[in-house]
Every structure is written in structure tokens, then in C-alpha cells.
Structure 1
Amino acid sequence: MAAGLVISAPASGVGKTTLTLALARAWRNSGLRVQCFKSGPDYIDPAFHAAATGRASVNVDSWAMDRGTISHLVSRGTDADVVLAEGSMGLFDGVAARGVSGTGATADIAEMLDWPVLLVIDPSGQAQTAAAIAAGLRDYRPGVRLAGVVLNRVASPRHEALVRRALLDAGIAVFGALPRHAEISLPKRHLGLVQAEEQAEIGKLIDEAARFVAEHVDLDAVLRSAANWSPQPAASHVNVTPPGQRIALARDAAFSFVYPHMLEAWRAAGAEISTFSPLADEGPDPGADVCWLPGGYPELQAGKIAANARFRSGLRAFAETRPVHGECGGYMVLGSALTDADGISHEMTGLLGLETSFAKRRMHLGYRLAELAAPMPGHQAGARLRGHEFHYSTILAQPDTPLAVVHDATGAVIAETGSRRGQATGTFFHLIAEDR
């Protein structure tokens, strides 16, 4: 039987990921088997979890997934000693309108799995008020249980003592307090953390975080606070249809935003996946049935992508007879031009007429529900797809036939409809699940 725990906070940027990685590595180093999950649609953190635990991590999302799918995904922790679900944003932060099984809030997952919440509190600029915030989170929603608190970035022993006393007076356990420690800060980029595979020293960084946290946090007390958990009977699959039998998947530093559960679902359905690197000037496997370009950071590599003639010609030749689909960054590369942050326009593959600019930055963020007006790989017209959009690029032109009618989580129609031209399709949202 595993011990289950959710790691959350009052807000983003407080230290959830660092604490999750540190706890996971510290317990792994002590001989425990640790399984991590990510609550919400973040596609970067699971790779860090895998680096810390040696086990693949997947996303669980109450807005896009039903309870059976979430239970199925979480059941991979059956053979673990400790199971950690890292939250996103603040504990109760989700969208206004309920999705498939919730609003996307971390609290939905905590209540659904009946796991207590370990809060990370940054009391910078506060003292006793930090206890009021923790008490408010504890009492806000019946069914969500608080295990206790780890303080992060405390300024001094006196500061720690003031906050600890207030928390203990409120009946909230304090498992430890971390002083400021710049050496374990994870580097960030405009879409979040710099990816795990881009950081050669990631193992050392996680080891240092584990050592630091073990020095300041009572790991045994945290483990005792976790819930005894054994998975309930669940659906035997994830609601995702593979786009083809043999899938050529772009995979490198510019095309890396793929939800792990998607690839697992494709393989579980019998699909074969071959990877290729556009940055290495490789084209898709000519023996594949379909080509899939995921999101990533093509705006940082636009010049190189534009110069890689073998990739571009190989993709164009593939698209003459077989479907090609792009998500977000992949969609941008399927377009005709991408303007980088310096205002330089780079010619892309031209399979679609989309023109985008990273020089004109504006954040696009949120859940998406799309009803397909035309088929795309793996899905027929009329299919309802749930996904998430997160990018800073601006559309300069989107002249092709719209792929879908796309709504945000409130039901409002949005302009990012996706496109279709010949065998090529693309969307700005990353697919998570299909309504069935």
C-alpha cells in the first residue's frame, strides 16, 4: 500500500516543483519507490519528476479527464511506496465552469483521491498572516484535508519562529522551514521552467535540493502525514485515439511538449511511434502513416528550422500523400512564416498559410473545447476534443479553412480555430482527451 500526498501552495512561484523533486529524490535515495504525477496541463514538470524518481510521470486533469481516466493513470503508483501529486497554481485555482470531473483545480485531485495536502508557504513580507492564509486554505472546502506546511524562503530564525508559532496556534503542523538558497533555483523560460532534458546538471541540482530539504524538513513526519492508498478499479485506457498506426513524431528541443499519457495511450492502442529531429535536419519516416509535430520552442530555433532544407522538403513530400498535424509550436512551423523575438521573419514549411509573430507577444492561456468542423488525424468531423493552450505568439494571418469551432472554459468562442489545407491540419491547443 502506497502513501499518497498532494503538494500545493497558495499561488504559483512558491516552490512546489522544487519541494516535490527534493522529497522524491530524498525518499528514493533512502530506498523508497516514488511515483509522481502532475495535476493540471503542465507538460514540462513531468520530465523533472522522471529525472528525480526514475519513473515516468503523467498529468491528471479534472477539467479534461473523467474519474475513470484519472484513476487509471494514477494506478501506475500501485507498486510505489510514496505517490506525490504536484499541483498547479494555487490549491483551489481552476476555471469558472466545471469540466468533465472538476474545474482543473489541484483540490479536485486531492478530494478525488482522498490524499492530504502538503502546503508550501512563502512567508516573504509576512509573519502571522502566513498562518491566516494556511488556515483559510485548510477550511475553504470540505473534503480537502491539510497535512501540514513547509515554509520556503524564510528570512531569518526570528522570522521562522514568528510564523511557526502562529501556524501551531492555528493547529497546523509545520514540517520544516527552508531558508533562501539560490543554488537550487530552477531556471525559467517564458512558458515555464527550462526543460529537464536541456539541463546537463539536472541530476546534481535535484540531489542538492534533496540534501537541502532533508536538512531542514522532517521527512519522516511528512511521510507519516500521507494517506494510506490503494487504487480503486478504474478504466483500462485513456480516452485518446492514436492518429495512425505508424506515427512519425517530431522530437527535439524545439518539439518536446507532448503529454506523456498521450504517447502511452497511442502505444497501448497498438500504434508504433518513430521519432525524428527537425533541428538535426531530419524528415519524417517515409514508412509512417501520419506525421505529428508537437509544441515546444520553435520560436527560439526559427532560423535553424528555416535553413534545414531536408526537413522542410521531407515534410512537404510526406504531406502530399499522408496527414500531417501540428500542435501550437508545431502548428506554427506548418505555417508560412514565423517572426522571432527580434522581429526577423523566417520562412516555415508552408503547408498551411498561418503567419505568427513572437515579436508581438501576448499570452494565450486556458482550457479549450473544440468541435471539429473537419477531420484531423485520429478524429472525425464532429468530434469534441479537450485540450489546453499556452503560448505568447500572435496570429498575423490564419487564412486556411478553420479546423474547428473552439471555445474556452467559459464557453466563449475564440479566434484560434486551427487550420486545414490538403493533408495538413494544426491547432494552437494541445490535445488532452476526447469527449465520448
Structure 2
Amino acid sequence: MKPIPKGLMISAPSSGTGKTTLMLGLLNALSKRGVDVRPFKSGPDYIDPGFHRAACGRASFNLDTWAMGAGVLADLIGTSRGGDLALIEGSMGLFDGVASAGETSNGASADISALTGWPVILLLDVSGQAQSAAATALGFKTMRPDVHIAGVVLNKVASPRHENLLRLGMERVGIPVLGALPRQGSVALPERHLGLVQAEEQPELMALLDAAGDFITAHVDLDLLVSVARSHGFPDGTDTLPPPPGQRIALARDAAFSFIYPHLLDHWRHAGAEVQLFSPLANEAPDDSADICWLPGGYPELHAGRLAAADRFRAGLQDFAQTRTVHGECGGYMAMGAGLIDKTGTRHQMAGLLGLETSYETRKMHLGYRLATLNTPASGQTTGARLRGHEFHYSTILSQPDTPLAHVVDANGDAVPETGSRRGNATGTFFHLIAGAS
């Protein structure tokens, strides 16, 4: 077992309980106290890490036990060495994961806690209950003996009397109360259908983070919370991330294209690749010196009119694809297609590198882990390579006429129709790459 810093996991019984507000408030407050906090996000979320970084000034990486092997997890967790405290924000409910683990873990946040020894701070929405909240906490405490619940933070507390009743219940079952967040005065974070509105889209981001930090400082015992942090090290592994797709990577980066996992960018740069940023919304084309152009996901549907009018970007992308690879993920894949229909039913011309037609006129959610076996070389990978990723979007496929890029299955092993596409040097997938698979 390799040593790692003490840490804590912020989790809850379900989504929508306020985990991100607590996480951001803790990162802000502890950093102001001089604590070198190293943030992480459990599961396949590419929005929260941007907020984490803004809140504490440290890069935040995803940890995913379904998509990542022990070696990749060990390398990423190892980035916390040198810090004072690792703090990881859980996803969904603490024990929630896919139904069938298959070759890997099921991706539950609890698995990261068990592997690292980082205790769980359980955030409970106590609306409409008092002592009964202790029964929920007790159930979580006894669910898995390898996951330690170090204490609870009570959320949406109605009054001092309500708080007193809640504390009495927790005392009865022997679970420490580390904080109580009042229902009035809580900090609200703007949301969109894929989660929070991105950090770079928040005009008053630092004021929002400072407000969260002040709120948490006022209502959480920070000294007590830090004192319950623990770790037991982490086992090593031999798997690694796929190599960079090129030596010079032209990466689209603006409000329409921003969904790429931080650990991939960090890996590319550490492996010696040069990442060249450009903005399609600013009508910029990929630099001609690049070996590959990568269009990540994002919100092309919100900017479809501007993308359709970006003639220099479109012509530059088409020229680039004559001799080199252009790869798109989800939103980037859609932008490489023939057309995109927005929620009003208006069709916008896209780059035309692929025949893909997508529509947001009728929303349909596509969500879940993906395991892809490539039918053809793509994004630096050879035919037969297996890749793990995650898909989350609300578009409907109207036409996907090009050569299927891969055989794609979900976490249960069931085939999905979103196979990705290839036409010449243009490739695209609806899933976002997380890691390779052995």
C-alpha cells in the first residue's frame, strides 16, 4: 500500500442534497485557513472539477472505479501527496452504482472510501423529519463495514429547536454532528440540464464561492471535521492511461466546447504533448501545426447559430481533416456532423465532416457508462482497442450514416446504438473518453 494524505469524502443518501455547496464551501474556507486541500470528484462529472479548482486553486481530478483500473486510480490519488488534506465530492448516493460491475467495481462513491480509507461525511437533508434522520444515518453507518461514516452535516435545518431534536437522535445512535446548515440563507448554485452551469460562465464566481465559504464556516465545526480525516494508503496497479492522440493537439475550448476530463489533459501534457487551444465560437480554426484536432463536448445546441456562421472555423476544420485526424466527443461529434436542430426546431448547418444529424427539438436523455471496442483506428488508438467512457446528453439521433466507429455496450454489456462514426480522417463518439480497458 502506498501512503496517501488523510482525506474525507463528502457524500449523501441521494443527488440533490447539497453536496456541491458543502464541498465548495469547505474548499474555500479551509484554503483561507492555510490548509492545502487536494480536491477530487467521484464518478464521471466534468463540470464540478472546474468549481473545485476555482474554490481552492488546486486541480481536481475524477476518480472512477468502474472506468479506471488500480494503476490509473493510484496515479491520480497520488496527486494529493504533499497536500494537507484530500477532499472528494461523491456522486449520487453513497452506495449508488451500476447494476452489473462486470470486470470492474460498480462505480459507487463508497468504493473510493473503502479503497483509500477516507471516511465519509454524510450530508443529510433533514426537511420534514427530526430524530428519524438518525435512523437514516445509522443505516448508512452499518451498510458496509469497510466504509466508515465519520459524522453527519445536517442540511435544511428549520430552527434551533429542530436542530436540537436532530442532535438528540444522532447522539442516541453515536454519530457525531459536524455541522448544521440552516434552511434560510443557504447558497444556491445555478444549474442547467447537465448539472451546474459551468464555472467559466459564472460572472460572479468568486463572490459565490466566498459566500459558500462563509456559510460553511458559520455552521460547520471545521476543526472537528478536519480531525476525523484518515487514510490507509492505496494499492498500486499496472494499468495506465492511453497515450496522447498526437504530439500537438489542437483542442477546441470555449463555452460550446469544454467537457473534457481534467486527468486526460494533465496526462497529455505530462506525456510531452503540446495542447493548443482555439475557439470555434470566436471563428478560429485549428492551428495548422497540430497533428490532431479534438472537439470535446459541451453545449453546441446553445450556440448552434454562431457555429453555423463561423465560416473560418468550418473551412479550417474541413481543410485540417483532409490530411489529419479530427475527433469529436458528444457535442464535438454533433458539431462535426451535417446539421443540428435546436429546441425550437431550427436546423443549423454544422461542419459536415460526418453525416450525423441530431436534434434537440424533442429531448431524450442518454446516460450511462460505455465500453467501446474500436472497429477502426481512432484518436491515437488501434483497431480492437477497448475504451471506457461515459455518455450524457439530451439529443436525438436523426441520422448516423457513416461507418460505425466502434462496438459500444453499456455497463451491463448490452449494445447501444450510439456507435460513433468514421468518415475519412473524421471520427466521433457520443461518449467521453475516461480511460482505456485491458
Q: TM-score, normalised by structure 1?
A: 0.97
The farther-off stretch of 198-207 and 57-66 is 198-207
Deviation sequence 1:35-67 (CA, Å, 0-9, x none): 100010000000111001101111010001112
Q: CA deviation at 1:127?
A: 2.1
CA separation in 1, counterparts of 2:186 and 2:96? 29
Structure 2 contact 46–260 (Cα < 8 Å) conserved: yes
Q: Number of residues paired by the alignment?
A: 435
Structure 1 contact 294–330 (Cα < 8 Å) conserved: yes
Q: Which residue number corresponds to residue 368 of structure 1?
A: 370
2:429 to 403, 414, 427: 427
CA separation in 1, counterparts of 2:409 and 2:298? 23
Q: CA deviation at 1:182?
A: 5.2
Question: SS state of the match for residue 128, structure 2?
Answer: coil
- Answering whether residue 278 of structure 2 is matched by residue 276 of structure 1, we say yes
Q: CA deviation at 1:228?
A: 4.9
Letter of the 1:373 counterpart? N
Deviation sequence 1:326-366 (CA, Å, 0-9, x none): 00000000000101111111010010010001111011110
Deviation sequence 1:291-322 (CA, Å, 0-9, x none): 00000010100000001100000000100111
Q: CA deviation at 1:133?
A: 1.2
- Answering whether residue 143 of structure 2 is matched by residue 136 of structure 1, we say no
- Answering whether residue 79 of structure 2 is matched by residue 76 of structure 1, we say yes
Structure 2 contact 358–399 (Cα < 8 Å) conserved: yes
CA separation in 2, counterparts of 1:318 and 1:294? 17
Q: Which residue number corresponds to residue 412 of structure 2?
A: 410
Structure 2 contact 410–416 (Cα < 8 Å) conserved: yes
Give the 3 Å change call, closer, same or farther, for CA 396–378 of structure 1 in structure 2.
same
Structure 1 contact 367–389 (Cα < 8 Å) conserved: yes
Q: Which residue number corresponds to residue 28 of structure 2?
A: 25
Q: Which residue number corresponds to residue 90 of structure 2?
A: 87
Structure 1 contact 237–265 (Cα < 8 Å) conserved: no
CA separation in 2, counterparts of 1:122 and 1:412? 35
Q: CA deviation at 1:34?
A: 0.8
Structure 1 contact 12–89 (Cα < 8 Å) conserved: yes
CA separation in 1, counterparts of 2:385 and 2:239? 18
- Answering whether residue 253 of structure 2 is matched by residue 287 of structure 1, we say no
Q: Which residue number corresponds to residue 394 of structure 2?
A: 392
Letter of the 1:72 counterpart? D
Q: Which residue number corresponds to residue 198 of structure 2?
A: 195
Question: SS state of the match for residue 6, structure 2?
Answer: strand
- Answering whether residue 311 of structure 2 is matched by residue 313 of structure 1, we say no
CA separation in 2, counterparts of 1:204 and 1:130? 33
CA separation in 2, counterparts of 1:234 and 1:412? 31
Give the 3 Å change call, closer, same or farther, for CA 232–413 of structure 1 in structure 2.
closer
The farther-off stretch of 124-133 and 89-98 is 124-133
Identity of aligned residues (%): 61
Deviation sequence 1:54-87 (CA, Å, 0-9, x none): 0111101000111221111011111111110110
Deviation sequence 1:222-278 (CA, Å, 0-9, x none): 01111156x557469842221111110000110000101101111222211101000
The farther-off stretch of 275-284 and 97-106 is 97-106
Structure 1 contact 6–115 (Cα < 8 Å) conserved: yes
- Answering whether residue 59 of structure 2 is matched by residue 56 of structure 1, we say yes
Structure 2 contact 70–238 (Cα < 8 Å) conserved: no
Letter of the 2:39 counterpart? C
Q: Which residue number corresponds to residue 329 of structure 2?
A: 327
2:267 to 238, 251, 265: 265
Structure 1 contact 240–266 (Cα < 8 Å) conserved: no
Q: Which residue number corresponds to residue 379 of structure 1?
A: 381
Mark the runs of 5 or more structure 1 residues left unpaired by the alignment: none
2:211 to 189, 208, 211: 208
CA separation in 2, counterparts of 1:12 and 1:137? 15
Letter of the 1:348 counterpart? M
Q: Which residue number corresponds to residue 242 of structure 1?
A: 244
Q: CA deviation at 1:94?
A: 0.5
Structure 1 contact 3–223 (Cα < 8 Å) conserved: no
Q: Which residue number corresponds to residue 173 of structure 2?
A: 170
Give the 3 Å change call, closer, same or farther, for CA 14–434 of structure 1 in structure 2.
same
Structure 1 contact 67–101 (Cα < 8 Å) conserved: no
1:36 to 27, 34, 39: 39
Structure 1 contact 328–427 (Cα < 8 Å) conserved: yes
Deviation sequence 1:14-33 (CA, Å, 0-9, x none): 01111111111111101111
- Answering whether residue 196 of structure 2 is matched by residue 222 of structure 1, we say no
CA separation in 2, counterparts of 1:153 and 1:258? 33
Question: SS state of the match for residue 258, structure 2?
Answer: coil
CA separation in 1, counterparts of 2:155 and 2:75? 33
CA separation in 1, counterparts of 2:235 and 2:136? 36
CA separation in 2, counterparts of 1:240 and 1:259? 13
Structure 2 contact 368–391 (Cα < 8 Å) conserved: yes
Q: CA deviation at 1:99?
A: 5.1
> Aligned-pair RMSD on alpha carbons?
1.4
Give the 3 Å change call, closer, same or farther, for CA 237–247 of structure 1 in structure 2.
farther
Structure 2 contact 186–215 (Cα < 8 Å) conserved: no
The farther-off stretch of 332-341 and 92-101 is 92-101
Deviation sequence 1:172-231 (CA, Å, 0-9, x none): 1111110124562110001000011111211111111111111111111101111156x5
Structure 1 contact 65–100 (Cα < 8 Å) conserved: no
Structure 1 contact 66–100 (Cα < 8 Å) conserved: no
Mark the runs of 5 or more structure 2 residues left unpaired by the alignment: none
Q: CA deviation at 1:141?
A: 1.1
CA separation in 2, counterparts of 1:369 and 1:31? 42
- Answering whether residue 123 of structure 2 is matched by residue 120 of structure 1, we say yes
Structure 1 contact 72–237 (Cα < 8 Å) conserved: no
CA separation in 1, counterparts of 2:376 and 2:127? 51
Q: Which residue number corresponds to residue 151 of structure 1?
A: 154
CA separation in 2, counterparts of 1:96 and 1:53? 35
Question: SS state of the match for residue 301, structure 1?
Answer: helix
